[in-house]
Amino acid sequence: MKKLADDIWIFDGESVPFFGLPYSTRMTVVRLSSGDLWVHSPIKLSASIMTQVDSLGGVKYLIAPNQLHHLFLPEWMAAYPDAEVYGTDGVMKKRSDLSFHAPLNNSQRYAWDSDIEHELFTGSPLMEECVFYHQGSGTLIVTDLVENFSGNEFNGCQRVVAKGAGILAPNGKTPLDWRLSFIFGKAKARKHFNKVLSWNPQVLVMAHGEIVSEETDRFLQRSFKWLL
């Protein structure tokens, strides 16, 4: 567990294999003004992680921000049966075996709105992702929309693949296959990106890779240059 700022922490979990690469996992936990915990992209649960999380408050919301981040939801739902679970339409369709409280695709008020803003990043038929902005710390929270691997976890061949996909730090961005799928949806995606920029985030936390905490605006402009 690492504290980023008041009321926001990250937890780095075990790597999972994806397209031949060991993908690191990261969970972000926010303590809301109510005192409840909002858990973004839950990682593999262990007794140690559960103890640390419980020390911060009571888990109220579990967030699955896109259709790839669902692997560990069942164990968190079992451990915290009173928690409300939210996901995009994509993950809700993919995990029809799980019970979700509500989708993230709807234009509705959420209980965390006074602390955390959100934007559903669409424009690709491949995948959509809900991104979040924690106002108190100025932190933008994403999963796969930006990947920024250090490369230390990869062997030589894997680094070549990761570089080709555009996901190596310090030049991390949206993975190549997802970028290409925006060919007919860039105008829509640019609107979402402009919304993200309007938040003026000071810190960028992603599920996979190095956190950006300096010149974050420049990093985002460079990372999303492909949208232009």
Q: What is the pLDDT of residues 164-173, one digit of tens each?
A: 989 899 999 9
Q: Answer whether residue 20 shows pLDDT above 80.
A: no
The confidence band for 19, taking pLDDT boundaries of 50, 70 and 90, is low
pLDDT tens-digit profile of 119-168?
A: 999 999 999 999 999 999 999 999 999 999 988 888 888 888 889 989 89
Helical pair 186-198 and 216-223, crossing angle rounded to 10 deg? 180
Query: pLDDT exceeding 70 applies to what percent of the chain?
Result: 100
- Mean pLDDT value of segment 50-58: 98
Q: Could you tell me the domains of the chain? A: 2-104+115-227 (3.60.15.10)
Lookup: tokens for 181 = 């799928």
Taking the complete model, does pTM exceed 0.85, yes or no? Answer: yes
SS (H, E, C) 24-52: EEEEEEEECCCCEEEEECCCCCCHHHHHH
Place of tokens 């992680």: 49
Amino acid at 131: V
Instruction: Calculate the average pLDDT of the chain.
Output: 94
